[in-house]
Amino acid sequence: MKLYSYFRSSAAFRVRIALNLKGVPYEVVPVHLLKGGGEQFGEAYTRTNPLSLIPALEDGGQVLTQSLAIIEYLDERYPEPPLLPADPLSRAYVRAVALSIACDIHPLNNLRVLRYLVREVGVSDEKKDFWYRHWVELGLGQLDRVVMSGGRSGRYTFGDQVTIADLAIVPQIFNARRFGCDLAKAPTLNEIADRCMQLDAFAKAQPSAQPDAE
Amino acid sequence: MKLYSYFRSSAAFRVRIALNLKGVPYEVVPVHLLKGGGEQFGEAYTRTNPLSLIPALEDGGQVLTQSLAIIEYLDERYPEPPLLPADPLSRAYVRAVALSIACDIHPLNNLRVLRYLVREVGVSDEKKDFWYRHWVELGLGQLDRVVMSGGRSGRYTFGDQVTIADLAIVPQIFNARRFGCDLAKAPTLNEIADRCMQLDAFAKAQPSAQPDAE
């Protein structure tokens, strides 16, 4: 398998963790999101993924996109260890946690959106940073209450089982720390992220451990 | 089941279609996103969903959030008609189409984000509308190429089977039309949406058919 990845991409980080947990060998193909206006817009990558977004997974000539769809695919193809609980209600719960990050926090703060805010909308760098922190702090704070009050967390978001929820939380917490967000309202998620990072699969997937790390 | 819904919410629209397709009886509990600063922030609803987002589904005392997680739950609890194909690659494909909308288009244009742009970032109404159309036209245009070139579409996104992809496409096309977006670059999705709307489950789920429609 080939994973088109950028070391700092949260979405690619999620998939790297999944591949590591499943023990599936893969080759990282770096796509630099900044160099030369962004390699994701180049002809070569656009042929692979017309959405010009990272990550994409190539498996036997087929290209898969969207991190959460890729992770569910890996979970169906390689059932062990499972990244989703067994019963429908619990599955819905961990999926909702992952989607809260993938739909309600991360999309507002990825590189293309921040760039557009500055270049096209004419927002100052200061206001852009404020925008970033606003959505991260609001989103993670609300999600922390959900996880804390849900009575389902343990060592990880769902008891002691690593699930798709943790795969979404860790990269978002990484980014939040990098951008100096205040995580006082997200203590549970912060602790879960720390515990996850003690696992090899997470540690090896982190930005600084990537071949294209700067 | 109780569905906390707002007639114009795209995410609620997706779940209404799923419930109709599955033939599951449900009661709509309207949550007005604008009235009095937004009923989703009120104490009553925050107790139900601390994320203050629509939709939420109450099933036997359990509250489920995030439209795509709710739809997968319904698909697992009520397998007929299936909203996902049978094989992992095809499942990944339709999930990716749904996520392209739910993660890369819709979150940038929902009410809370547009409001924040105007009220907190100080963006003019004109620039806000430009922002809206930019992400919708870019996102649907790219996605149209994916669907068109993927060789998998038929009457709907995945052959003649209605899938989670269609449940995401239709509400997004509805919104795009409402905001006067140029859909010249998304002819395939436009046609798919029209064909879906001929089905009762879609027609009954549309905003104008809701008890809280204005």
**pLDDT-based confidence at residue B174 (cuts at 50, 70, 90):** very high
Return the percentage of chain B with pLDDT > 90, whole number.
76
pLDDT value, residue A101: 97
3-state class (DSSP) for residue B12:
helix
Mean pLDDT of B7-15: 96
Backbone angles phi, psi at A63, to 5 degrees: -105, 125
Ranges of CATH 1.20.1050.10 domains, chain B:
88-201
This prediction's pTM: 0.96
Contact A50 B149 (CB under 8 A): yes
Q: Which residue of A has its CA nearest to B59?
A: A89
Ranges of CATH 3.40.30.10 domains, chain A:
2-80
pLDDT value, residue A37: 78
Asked which of A109-123, A139-153, B3-17, B77-91 is least confident by mean pLDDT, the reply is A109-123
Domain A2-80 has CATH 3.40.30.10: yes
- Neighboring chain B residues of A83 at a CB cutoff of 8 Å: none
* Chain B closest-CA separation from residue A104 CA (Å): 6
Q: Which residue of A has its CA nearest to B99?
A: A66
Return the percentage of chain A with pLDDT > 90, whole number.
77
Work out the angle at residue A116's Cα, subtended by the Cα atoms of residues B169 and B6, and round it to the nearest 5 degrees: 35
Query: How many A-B residue pairs are in contact by the CB < 8 A criterion?
Result: 127
pLDDT value, residue B104: 92
Q: Which residue of A has its CA nearest to B89?
A: A73
Q: Show Cβ contacts of residue A52 under 8 Å, excluding neighbours closer than 6 positions.
A: A38, A40, A41, A45, A46, B142
Q: Measured between CB atoms, which of A89, A121, A149 is closest to B127?
A: A121
The β-bridge relationship of strands A2-5 and A27-30 is parallel
- Residue of B15, B121, B129 to mutate, testing the A interface (most A Cβ within 10 Å of its Cβ): B121
* Chain A closest-CA separation from residue B140 CA (Å): 10
Return the percentage of chain B with pLDDT > 70, whole number.
100
What pLDDT tens digit does each residue of chain A (214 aa) get?
999 999 999 999 999 999 999 999 999 999 998 887 788 888 889 888 888 889 999 999 999 999 999 999 999 999 999 999 999 999 999 999 999 999 999 999 888 899 899 998 888 998 899 999 999 999 999 999 999 988 999 999 999 999 999 999 999 999 999 999 999 999 999 999 999 999 999 999 999 999 999 9
Q: Is A151 left (phi over 0), alpha (psi -120 to 50) or beta?
A: left
ipTM exceeding 0.90? Answer: yes
Q: Which residue of B has its CA nearest to A142?
A: B51
Long-range contacts of A11-14 (CB under 8 A, 24+ apart): A11/A53, A11/A54, A11/A55, A11/A67, A11/A102, A11/A106, A11/A171, A12/A54, A12/A55, A12/A67, A13/A170, A13/A171, A13/A174, A13/A205, A13/A206, A13/A207, A14/A67, A14/A68, A14/A71, A14/A167, A14/A168, A14/A171
User: In CATH, what number does A88-201 get?
Assistant: 1.20.1050.10
Q: Which helix (H) or strand (E) holds A96?
A: helix A88-104
